[in-house]
A and B are shown apart, each in its own frame.
Chain A
Amino acid sequence: MRYAFLIAWREFAENAKTKGFWLSLLIFPAILTLSIQVPILLEKKGTPTRHFVIADASGEFAPLIALTIEREQTERAEQALRDFVRRGKYPESLSRFVHSDHTLDLAGWKAGQGANYLKVPGFVAPHPRFRLVALPEGVSPNAAPDLAAQQLRPWLRGERQLSVDGQPAPLFAAVLLAAELPLAATTGAASKGIHYWSENLADTALADLVEHTINTELRRRAYVAHGLDPATVREVERIKAPLTSFNPKKAAGEETVGMADRIRQWLPSLFVYLLWVAIFSIAQMLLTSVIEEKSNRIIEVLLSSVTPGELMVGKLAGIAAIGLTMLGVWVASLVAIVLWKSLGVSPEAAAAAGGMAGIPGDVATILRTTWLLPAFAVYFLLGFLFYSGLILALGSTCNTLKEAQSFMGVIVLLLMVPLLMMTYIPRDPNGTLATTLSWFPPYTPFVMMNRVTADPPLRDVLGTMALLLVCTGFVLWGSGRIFRRGILRTGQPPELLELLKWLRR
């Protein structure tokens, strides 16, 4: 055991010294932090106010659109003010309007302050997303869409700039409306009634807003034309019976499907990914390590000091430790970042903000109250051993990394299947596909991790686990035999038949 430990320690120490190891340790938290922070930064500073113009031949809709834009901006500013208050650093003047759960009594505050209710010391209202500006000189506000488009072309293509408050600004979009918009439900030629011109096709927020505003107005007019009261129609349209999901397996009174249940359903997928990444991250290290010793003939010195079994166990343990360290750091950083992002946010406030921040608590509860964690630990360990044994045995029969890569191709293909299946298995965790796949040992850990939260039959749990245990044992035993012979072999990698012979003797 001492010798296996020495081998393992060297593998760990040597791999831990490589730049690649530290890069991969850091890259995951870095990507995670960036992917959270960058959109926030972009939201804060990145997207500039976008200027657009309207040429409305009918002259009826431009004011409506302007009104909608203004209303949207006010809503965003008010939401920002609420968030500002929730973070707790609001001035004394405001405290009278803040409830004990850090929510702002906006109506009360607004009533007291009047038009200046957004001018709070320390609070900066978000800049508007869109701003309607006057048409450039020489473009008639009442021009038909075709003419207006032609006249606006230099601005739309960025050849000329608008002048906004004396500053040059690019024109983001132009909304051109025909004199006659359809009043009946129709598509086709008349659908050209609203022309939206913009070089930016990705950001559809403005286009959606314009379309929605105009169509709501058109419908309102149609209701009036049909003799219906728009207020009544709006009333009718608000009718909505809410849908609540229930789970029949839960105890009475607890059937409501909440966030925790969704996490419970998707958490296994995370574990499956972790296992998958763990296997792949160590596969390369295992292969390189075996092949270096083989091609350098260090293996002979090693085998004069340790048994092939000790060597194999040491290698597996050392490289597994490296892989698990990497994984551990990743998971820890994930948890740390989630906790950090939800820091200072009370659960009620978090729930109000969309429930995202309540996740860590939910996850903790799930891990504490179910046998999910021990089950994952067992499946993870067995799956990990199964595949690393396989990879190590294959590596031992190869002389160069190139030879080994071709074997790895097969393993990669084998491993793609559970990943592809992962979309389907959680939807029907006890269906035929899931059940069949879980009895195939290479896929057992992946599939069973996904099924374990869905209360699979005990027969499946115990049966597949026993089968996997036996198979992992067999793989490790067989790998030991192949390793023992393969490791000293030079020349061509053995044929499959020869490998089988090695297993028998």
Chain B
Amino acid sequence: MTAPALELSHVTKTYGDFTAVNDLSLSVPTGCVYGFLGPNGAGKTTSLRMILEIIRPTSGTITVLGSTSALAVRGRIGYLPEEKGLYKKMKAWAIIAYFATLKGMSRRAAKARAYELLKRYGLADFAEARTEALSKGMGQKVQVLAAIAHDPEFVILDEPFSGLDPVNQTVMEEIITDLRARGHTVIFSTHVMAHAERLCDRLAIIAKGRKLFDGTPEEARQMLPRRVQLLTDDGIAPLRDLPTVSAISSTANGAWQIELRAGADVQAILQACFTHNIRPRGFRFDEPTLHDVFVQLVGPDAKEATHR
């Protein structure tokens, strides 16, 4: 197994009395798309800034691409910050090329690359436009392109989807999957679970600066009990005694909600129905979603979300 692209070990960042990130440890394998989930003010941006060495952690160590200094490997890292902004008077291609040169590309190569990217992502007509003339979505796309123009092997995207319309959200997803297809590592933060669910190989959920979960989406979903909804006119008393069932409750629409123990097989419920002559009029099984997991894990925190 190759070394992880990123490793955080007991990282803490305090601002006076306020702890923005508290004893955070995680590991991002090379070539994986890693979701960084959490409510507003959870410490996502602070963590990403520390990874990039924009700010220094109060304690703990961070290893990026095998180096303890992100600046030492800056040419291999791409970064899209949460708040998007561009130099208003610069042309779209010039900004992309400028940021690429700051990552170590030669000026000539950076210019060619800028035009190529703008063409590939449908902005060829705007290459010569000043960024102040671009719409918000286009501007954001230009910024994403600027972040990946030097073809970094490790890309950090802070809220890449915010402010994009559905079409451009799809383009953003494409960009991420393109990067993964070429074996690059991507970390992105979001609080929109649908994106995380579709894109992430692994994810971490943090709230109030603490890590609440770290693993694959599948592992995340397994944290919640699986539920089956059963609609029947027969008595369901026999099901209560099944070892796989942890609880049964009635729902508003007259159906029964059966909660299964972890690792239980849904088929066992149907089988039991046959055995005990319970005739289902309706049977529905929903996998828990990341959304459910997220709300379950950070729900109370998210409501009283504090902001620095």
* Chain B stretch 228-252: residues in CB contact (< 8 A) with chain A: none
Interface string of B161-184 (1 = CB under 8 A from A): 000000000000000000000000
Assembled-state Cα–Cα distance A293/B80 (Å): 15
Encoded as 1 (CB less than 8 Å from any A CB) or 0, chain B from 77 to 98 comes to: 1011111111111100000001
Q: B49 at interface (Cβ–Cβ under 8 A)?
A: yes
What is the CA–CA distance of A128 and B74 in the complex, to the nearest angstrom? 78
A80: B residues at CB distance < 8 A: none
CB distance from A504 to the nearest CB of B (A): 15
Q: Are B90 and A301 closer than 8 Å at their CB atoms?
A: no
B79 — which chain A residues lie within 8 A by C-beta?
A: 300-301, 304
Give A301 Cβ to nearest chain B Cβ, in Å: 6
Q: Is there a chain B Cβ closer than 8 Å to A142's Cβ?
A: no
98-116 of chain B: CB within 8 A of chain A: 98-99, 101-103
Known: A304-B70, A307-B71, A488-B55. A298 touches B87 (CB 8 A): yes
Known contacts A3-B102, A304-B70; A297 and B54 CB within 8 A of each other: no
Q: Is there a chain B Cβ closer than 8 Å to A38's Cβ?
A: no
Known: A305-B74, A306-B71. 4 other contacts (CB 8 A): A296-B88, A297-B82, A301-B80, A304-B53
Q: A297-B85, A298-B85, A298-B87 are in contact. Are A303 and B103 (CB under 8 A)?
A: no
Q: Which residue of B lies closest to A300 (CB)?
A: B81
Check A292 against B101 for contact (C-beta < 8 Å): no
A27 at the interface (CB under 8 A from B): no
Instruction: Flag if A6 contacts B102 (CB, 8 Å).
Output: yes
Residue from A297, A303, A304, A306 having most chain B Cβ neighbours under 10 A: A304
The residues of B that contact A301 with a CB separation of less than 8 Å are: 79-81, 99, 143, 146-147
Q: Closest approach, in angstroms, between the C-beta of A180 and any C-beta of chain B? A: 78
Partner among B52, B74, B82, B86 whose Cβ is within 8 Å of the Cβ of A296: B86
Task: Tell me how many residue pairs across A and B have CB atoms closer than 8 Å.
Answer: 62
Contact A10 B98 (CB under 8 A): yes
CB distance from A322 to the nearest CB of B (A): 14
Residue of B88, B101, B143 contacting most chain A CB atoms (<10 Å): B101
Please, could you name 11 A-B residue pairs with CB atoms under 8 Å apart, sorted by A?
A14-B89, A14-B90, A18-B89, A293-B87, A296-B86, A298-B86, A298-B87, A302-B102, A303-B54, A304-B70, A305-B102
Which chain B residue shows the least CB distance to A303?
B54
Which 7 pairs show the lowest CB-CB distances between chains A and B? A296-B85, A300-B81, A297-B83, A305-B102, A304-B79, A304-B52, A303-B54
For chain A, residues 1 to 52, give those with C-beta under 8 angstroms from any C-beta of chain B.
Answer: 3, 6-7, 10, 14, 17-18
Binding site for B on A (CB under 8 A): 3, 6-7, 10, 14, 17-18, 292-293, 295-298, 300-307, 488
CA distance A306 to B101 in the complex (A): 11
Q: How far is the CA of A383 from the CA of B288 in the complex (A)?
A: 67
Residues from chain A with a CB closer than 8 A to the CB of B146 are: 301
- Residues of A within 8 Å of B147, CB to CB, are 301
Chain B interface residue count: which class?
20 to 34
Output the residue of A3, A6, A7, A298 with the most chain B CB within 10 A.
A298
Bound CA span A482–B86, Å: 24
Establish whether residues A305 and B99, one from each chain, have CB atoms under 8 Å apart when the complex forms: yes
Bound Cα distance A293, B81 (Å): 13
Chain B residues contacting A14 (CB-CB under 8 Å) are: 87, 89-90
Closest to A297 in B: B83
Smallest CB separation, A17 vs chain B (Å): 7
Assembly CA distance A192 to B26 (angstroms): 102
Give chain A residues whose Cβ lies under 8 Å from the Cβ of B80: 301
**Are A295 and B85 interface neighbours, CB within 8 A?**
yes
Q: How far is the CA of A303 from the CA of B52 in the complex (A)?
A: 8
Q: A14-B90, A17-B89, A303-B54 are in contact. Are A297 and B81 (CB under 8 A)?
A: yes
A305→B90 contact, CB < 8 A: no
Judging by beta carbons under 8 Å apart, are B54 and A292 in contact?
no
- Chain A contacts of B77 at CB under 8 A? 304
A10→B94 CA distance, assembly (Å): 10
By beta carbon, the residue of chain B nearest A302 is B102
The smallest beta-carbon distance between A399 and chain B, in angstroms, is 13
A226 to B21, CA, bound (A): 107
State A303–B79 Cα separation when bound (angstroms): 10
CA distance A337 to B70 in the complex (A): 54
Partner of A304, one of B74, B83, B98, B101: B74
Cβ-neighbour of A305 out of B82, B86, B87, B103 (below 8 A)? B103
Chain A hits for B89, CB < 8 A? 14, 17-18
Complexed CA–CA distance, A295 and B88 (Å) = 12
A289 (CB) vs chain B CBs: closest residue: B87
